[in-house]
Amino acid sequence: DSGVTQTPKHLITATGQRVTLRCSPRSGDLSVYWYQQSLDQGLQFLIQYYNGEERAKGNILERFSAQQFPDLHSELNLSSLELGDSALYFCASSQTSQTPPRNEQFFGPGTRLTVL
Amino acid sequence: EDQVTQSPEALRLQEGESSSLNCSYTVSGLRGLFWYRQDPGKGPEFLFTLYSAGEEKEKERLKATLTKKESFLHITAPKPEDSATYLCAVQESQGAQKLVFGQGTRLTINP
């Protein structure tokens, strides 16, 4: 158990709909990362938040957005869903406030999204 | 752009048969190279971080090594429970702390 929690585990929805994925980082971790894993693309970085602020963006579609709240949990919002958005979505967290910073990221169990 | 290539894509071994997985990388400056294990439908599980060429890390039957262009994950006398996909990722020394992953090596250990 990595200490990172994600809900829900599974999500089945229809094209055009909007969903919200939730992530709680490990205790004390300030950075949260979102990744998408599909069969053909592998694990792809979407976005990073650090202590409530957006830190970096990767291959995240404009239909997708995220935020990190004061209690450090994060939500990934996916809207106008398409069949191709079906994938595993992982959240990871890291402890970057130590000196020196610990760079390893610890992953949650993921949310499997199926768009029908 | 950072690139990570893992080989082979899949590897079948008999229990006790040692082997190595390869991870070749291209990055402008390396902050760290990471190895993860992923079981089907689960999140990647952190194994090792390597920071500089010549560094080695060990955990049970696994040993990871790093050169300036590649990393190896050596598995000694594997057991069926070592069956999983092994992922390699790099993190740049400048800019974002994102991980760039390879496609993974799917390892199967037959009893």
Q: Please, which pLDDT band fits residue A39 given cuts at 50, 70 and 90?
A: confident
A6 or B95: which leads in pLDDT: A6
What was the pLDDT predicted at A20?
Answer: 98
Q: What is the DSSP letter of A100?
A: S
- pLDDT for position A40: 79
CB contact under 8 A, A4 and B43: yes
In chain A, which residues have their Cβ closer than 8 Å to the Cβ of B98?
Answer: 33, 45, 48, 56, 58
Q: Are B92 and B29 in contact (CB under 8 A)?
A: yes
Average pLDDT value for residue range A81-92: 97
CA distance A107 to A91: 6
**B23 has a pLDDT exceeding 80:** yes
Which residues does chain B have within 8 Å of residue A110's beta carbon, measured at their own beta carbons? 41-43
The C-alpha of A80 sits at a distance from chain B's nearest C-alpha, in angstroms, of 25
Contact B97 A56 (CB under 8 A): yes
Judge residue A38's burial from the number of C-beta atoms within 10 Å of its C-beta, 0-12 exposed, 13-18 middle, 19 or more buried.
middle
Query: DSSP E strands: which ranges in B1-111?
Result: 3-7, 10-14, 19-26, 30-38, 45-50, 56-59, 62-66, 70-75, 84-92, 100-101, 105-110
* Substitution target from B98, B103, B105 for chain A, most A beta carbons within 10 A: B98
The percent of residues above 70 in pLDDT, for chain A, comes to 94
Q: Which residues of chain B make contact with A2, given a CB cutoff of 8 A? A: 43, 45-46
Q: What is the pLDDT of residue A11?
A: 97
| Token pair listed for B96 | 């974002």
Shortest Cα distance, chain A CAs vs residue B54, angstroms: 19
CA of A1: which chain B residue's CA is closest?
Answer: B45
Which amino acid is located at B7 in the chain? S
CB spacing of A105 vs B103 below 8 angstroms: no
- pLDDT at A102 > cutoff 70: no
- A6, A48, A60, A103: best mutation site toward chain B, by most B Cβ within 10 Å? A103
Please say if the pLDDT value at position A96 is more than 90: no
Strand partners, B73: B21, B64
